[in-house]
């Protein structure tokens, strides 16, 4: 069923509900304060100062009316300090924000079309100004980073569903909001952030669609200007974002936390789960994650992007698992200055310019830990203790895996299929202590052989060793490993054919499940 159809059926349901709750058909006036259940007379109303809610526990049914601001100033509907208010079924346009909700709990807003509220005209410049991802609610009124569909601050348990938001600066901004539920919304054509989550915990997103969330309809990644479909920032944690589609974004996700010098006001955004989304056409990165830890990116289908995953200063337990990354023009997955993270069970194909997976550091400390305490940047100069396990590489340019100044990392059970001029694996700079195999384990390997040990390389020339246990008789090193060789390279009795390589998560799911059990995520991995 199309989203519009669902929205329509929903609005009928809402109307029935609101009819029962009674009320005459009210014609709104500019500045009106609504204090009881209200059903508007259907109409197109010019209300430059909007209307506001003045009581808790009421319904406002807009009856498919349009509220118009006219000059992109003020707010269409203001709800400040009230709870359990239900607003639905209408259209709001030409304000600074269509709706502004603050200080309350249990509110529910549904079935609105919010469109052509504020949008920065400079965003359309050939070189638009970059957005400031650390902008704070105190900057309300800002015309570069703010304005658009909904502003929501200091609320608990708000529900937003079946909205159509389009042609604005931002779709929805959440500030200090806990346990919001955001489902079945359509976000389209915003030049800032379609959804902006700031210091908000436990946000749950399901079945939303995001289209054209990009600063400028440009293919030039230098002008994406920090625009994103979803921006999660300043200590926003424990969100679950799943089963949504993303088409044409600046970045699909920017997840971050970065304090101003010597203040701890903007700490890492952690423990967010990004699951089973479909992401297509991204100017910069499908995922950009920095100064964080414990975010999990699982089973997302990513196509036609600049970067699949661009990570910086990830301080531990970021899991990039079971994703399929096809057609990245730059790197498939790149982590800089990052430690103790896991890249497991992904399929990476057709990475045209960069490496399929790159881990790197320049070995320098760029952020004084005493000045940026809440970032907990332990060993920030390192790229160490990361794991790259059970991934499938269809490499057709550069390296499948490139480790630069990277130490103590573990790389095994990957399937590295080299096509065209692709190169296999490489260590550069001060890389040491990396291990390209584990001790033999009796657990099915990536080609369904009996034992797990090293990696499969399509250019390996050795034969199976005398034990006939699925490993090669000579170590693998294509002259690009500085120290250790892969001493247990896999001999795949049956090479994976193209259909099997397309089977995506099934092949690796066994391994992924075993691997992720420790993270109690198996409930998400039923597929
Ligand atoms: C919507 O407004 C029209 C005109 O004012 C009215 O006839 C109709 O009953 C209203 N809808 C509902 C669900 O009450
Ligand atoms: C709501 O109003 C818009 C135009 O204002 C109209 O296109 C649409 O058909 C109306 N929807 C319903 C369910 O009446
Ligand atoms: C966050 O919102 C809660 C209400 O939901 C409020 O009590 C608290 O003061 C807010 N914190 C800030 C920093 O605004
Ligand atoms: C991922 O998307 C591609 C392109 O739309 C599609 O062909 C493929 O079947 C999808 N894979 C999964 C596992 O959904
Ligand atoms: C990869 O890019 C090629 C060329 O643009 C396109 O034909 C193909 O469909 C893309 N693959 C996916 C999965 O989108
Ligand atoms: C790989 O991606 C490039 C563009 O980045 C595209 O031109 C080419 O067709 C793609 N190849 C395949 C096999 O999808
Ligand atoms: C590795 O670290 C050294 C020392 O800082 C630096 O000079 C070099 O550029 C790094 N290598 C790469 C490829 O970044
Ligand atoms: C950090 O990297 C250095 C080498 O650059 C290495 O000696 C050290 O063991 C690493 N630290 C950790 C915690 O892995
Ligand atoms: C690939 O392998 C699968 C099962 O492993 C088989 O069903 C399929 O026919 C094979 N496809 C090709 C093109 O050989």
Lowest mean pLDDT among 47-51, 99-103, 447-451: 447-451
Residue to substitute in 358, 361, 363 for testing ligand 7 pocket (most ligand atoms within 8 angstroms of CB): 363
Residue to substitute in 25, 59, 88 for testing ligand 1 pocket (most ligand atoms within 8 angstroms of CB): 25
Q: What is the mean pLDDT of residues 126-132?
A: 89
Any idea which ligand is nearest the CA of 4?
2
Any idea which ligand is nearest the CA of 153?
3
Lowest mean pLDDT among 184-188, 265-269, 382-386: 265-269
* CA nearest to 411, candidates 333, 354, 351: 333
384 CB less than 6 Å from ligand 8?
yes
pLDDT over 70 (residue 73)? yes
Would you say 460 and 476 are in contact if contact means Cβ atoms under 8 Å apart?
yes
* CA nearest to 271, candidates 253, 296, 289, 252: 296
Would you say 340 and 351 are in contact if contact means Cβ atoms under 8 Å apart?
no
381 CB less than 6 Å from ligand 6?
no
pLDDT over 90 (residue 515)? no
Phi, psi of 133 (to 5 degrees): -70, -10
pLDDT over 60 (residue 389)? yes
Would you say 223 and 128 are in contact if contact means Cβ atoms under 8 Å apart?
yes
pLDDT band at 513; cut points 50, 70, 90: low
**Token pair for 359:** 């881990």
pLDDT over 90 (residue 412)? yes
pLDDT over 60 (residue 516)? no
pLDDT at 509: 53
Distance between first and last Cα of the chain: 22
pLDDT over 80 (residue 216)? no
Q: Which atom of ligand 6 is nearest to the CA of 329?
A: 5
pLDDT over 60 (residue 379)? yes
pLDDT in tens, 460-495: 999 999 999 999 999 998 788 887 899 999 998 877
- Ligand 4 centre to CA of 399 (Å) is 24
pLDDT band at 24; cut points 50, 70, 90: confident
pLDDT at 262: 60
pLDDT in tens, 230-249: 999 999 999 999 999 999 99
- Domain assignments of the chain as residue spans, ordered by start: 1-121+148-223
Q: Hey, whose CA ends up nearest to atom 14 of ligand 4?
A: 301
226 CB less than 6 Å from ligand 4?
no
Residue with tokens 């995953």, as numbered in its chain: 309
Q: Hey, whose CA ends up nearest to atom 8 of ligand 5?
A: 327
pLDDT at 395: 77
- Ligand 9 centre to CA of 497 (Å) is 6
**Token pair for 307:** 């970067």
- Ligand 4 centre to CA of 218 (Å) is 25
- Ligand 5 centre to CA of 426 (Å) is 27
DSSP string covering 466-493:
TT-SSBBSS-B--S--SS--BSS-B--S
66 CB less than 6 Å from ligand 2?
yes
pLDDT in tens, 280-332: 999 999 999 999 999 999 989 999 999 999 999 999 999 999 899 999 999 99
pLDDT band at 375; cut points 50, 70, 90: confident
Q: What is the mean pLDDT of residues 211-222?
A: 73
pLDDT band at 14; cut points 50, 70, 90: low
353 CB less than 6 Å from ligand 1?
no
pLDDT band at 520; cut points 50, 70, 90: very low
pLDDT at 502: 58
Q: Hey, whose CA ends up nearest to atom 10 of ligand 3?
A: 154
pLDDT at 396: 78
Higher pLDDT, 397 or 156: 156
Q: What is the mean pLDDT of residues 383-397?
A: 91
303 CB less than 6 Å from ligand 5?
yes
Query: CA–CA separation, 192 vs 170, rounded Å?
Result: 5
- Ligand 5 centre to CA of 304 (Å) is 7
Chain centroid to CA 492: how far? Answer: 35
* CA nearest to 459, candidates 402, 417, 398: 417
* CA nearest to 184, candidates 209, 157, 150: 209
Q: Which atom of ligand 4 is nearest to the CA of 505?
A: 13
Q: Which of 2-6, 7-11, 179-183, 387-391 has the highest mean pLDDT?
A: 179-183
Residue 238 class from Cβ within 10 Å (0-12 exposed, 13-18 middle, 19+ buried)? Answer: middle
- Ligand 1 centre to CA of 40 (Å) is 8
Q: Show the CA angle centred on residue 347, arms to residues 346 and 349, nearest 5°.
A: 145
Higher pLDDT, 518 or 85: 85
pLDDT at 523: 37
Higher pLDDT, 8 or 216: 216
Residue to substitute in 382, 404, 429, 435 for testing ligand 8 pocket (most ligand atoms within 8 angstroms of CB): 382
Q: What pTM value is reported for the model?
A: 0.92
**Token pair for 187:** 């976000």
* The architecture CATH gives domain 1-121+148-223: 3 Solenoid (2.160)
Would you say 410 and 435 are in contact if contact means Cβ atoms under 8 Å apart?
yes
What is the dihedral sign for C-alpha 133, 139, 141, 143? negative
pLDDT over 90 (residue 223)? no
Residue 183 class from Cβ within 10 Å (0-12 exposed, 13-18 middle, 19+ buried)? Answer: middle
Bridge partner list, 182: 160, 205
Q: Which atom of ligand 5 is nearest to the CA of 326?
A: 13
* CA nearest to 315, candidates 377, 222, 398: 377
pLDDT at 527: 33
pLDDT over 80 (residue 433)? yes
pLDDT at 152: 98
Would you say 376 and 315 are in contact if contact means Cβ atoms under 8 Å apart?
yes
Lowest mean pLDDT among 13-27, 122-136, 420-434, 470-484: 13-27
pLDDT at 370: 84
Q: Hey, whose CA ends up nearest to atom 8 of ligand 9?
A: 499
pLDDT at 222: 59
Q: Which atom of ligand 2 is nearest to the CA of 8?
A: 13
3 CB less than 6 Å from ligand 8?
no
- Ligand 7 — pocket residues by CB below 6 A? 360, 362-364, 404-405, 428-430
pLDDT in tens, 318-372: 999 989 999 999 999 999 999 999 999 899 999 988 999 999 999 999 998 888 8
Residue 79 class from Cβ within 10 Å (0-12 exposed, 13-18 middle, 19+ buried)? Answer: buried
What is the dihedral sign for C-alpha 88, 82, 27, 29? negative
In angstroms, the Cα distances linking 61 to 23, 64, 66, 151, 455 are 10, 8, 12, 20, 61
Lowest mean pLDDT among 1-15, 23-37, 400-414, 434-448: 1-15
317 CB less than 6 Å from ligand 6?
no
The rounded percent of the chain whose pLDDT value lies above 90 is 72
pLDDT at 525: 39
In angstroms, the Cα distances linking 129 to 136, 216, 490 are 18, 10, 51
């Amino acid at each position: 069923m199309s989203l519009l159809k669902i929205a329509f059926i929903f609005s009928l349901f809402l109307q029935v509900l609101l009819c029962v709750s009674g009320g005459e058909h009210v014609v709104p006036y500019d500045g009106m304060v609504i204090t009881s259940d209200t059903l508007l007379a259907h109409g197109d109303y010019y209300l430059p100062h909007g209307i506001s809610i003045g009581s808790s526990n009421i319904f406002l049914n807009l009856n498919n009316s349009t509220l118009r601001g006219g000059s992109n100033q003020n707010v269409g509907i203001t709800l400040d300090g009230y709870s359990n208010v239900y607003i639905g079924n209408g259209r709001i346009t030409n304000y600074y924000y269509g709706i502004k909700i603050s200080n309350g709990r249990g509110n529910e807003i549904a079935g609105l079309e919010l469109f052509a509220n504020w949008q920065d005209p400079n965003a359309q410049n050939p070189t638009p100004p970059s957005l400031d991802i650390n902008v704070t609610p105190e900057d309300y009124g800002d015309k570069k980073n703010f304005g658009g569909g909904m502003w929501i601050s200091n609320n608990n348990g708000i529900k937003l569903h079946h909205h159509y938001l389009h042609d604005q600066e931002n779709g929805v901004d959440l500030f200090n909001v806990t346990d919001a539920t955001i489902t079945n919304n359509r976000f389209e054509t915003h030049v800032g952030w379609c959804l902006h989550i700031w210091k908000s915990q436990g946000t749950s997103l399901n079945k939303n669609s995001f289209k054209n969330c990009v600063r400028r309809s440009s293919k030039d990644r230098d002008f994406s200007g920090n625009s994103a479909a979803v921006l999660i920032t300043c200590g926003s944690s424990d969100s679950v974002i799943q089963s949504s589609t993303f088409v044409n974004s600046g970045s699909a996700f920017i997840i971050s936390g970065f304090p101003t010098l010597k203040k701890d006001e903007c700490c890492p955004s952690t423990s967010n789960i990004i699951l089973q989304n479909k992401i297509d056409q991204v100017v910069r990165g499908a995922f950009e994650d920095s100064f964080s830890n414990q975010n999990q990116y699982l089973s997302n289908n990513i196509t036609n992007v600049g970067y699949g995953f661009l990570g910086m200063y990830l301080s531990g337990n970021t899991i990039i698992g079971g994703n399929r990354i096809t057609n990245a023009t730059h790197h498939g997955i790149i982590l800089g200055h990052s430690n103790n993270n896991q890249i497991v069970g992904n399929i990476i194909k057709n990475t045209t310019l960069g490496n399929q997976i790159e881990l790197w550091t320049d070995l320098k400390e760029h952020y004084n830990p005493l000045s940026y305490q809440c970032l907990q940047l332990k060993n920030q100069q390192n790229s160490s203790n990361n794991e790259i396990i059970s991934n499938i590489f269809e490499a057709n340019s550069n390296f499948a895996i490139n480790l630069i100044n990277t130490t103590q990392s573990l790389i095994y059970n990957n399937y590295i299929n080299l096509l065209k001029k692709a190169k296999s694996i490489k260590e550069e700079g001060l890389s040491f202590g990396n291990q390209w195999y584990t001790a033999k384990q009796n657990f099915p390997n990536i080609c369904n052989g009996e034992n797990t040990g090293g990696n499969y390389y399509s250019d390996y020339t050795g034969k199976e060793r005398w034990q006939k246990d699925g490993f090669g008789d000579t170590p693998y090193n294509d002259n690009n490993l500085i120290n250790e060789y892969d001493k247990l390279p896999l001999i795949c009795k049956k090479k994976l054919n193209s259909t099997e390589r397309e089977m995506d998560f099934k092949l690796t799911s066994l391994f992924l499940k075993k691997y992720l059990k420790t993270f109690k995520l198996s409930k998400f991995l039923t597929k």
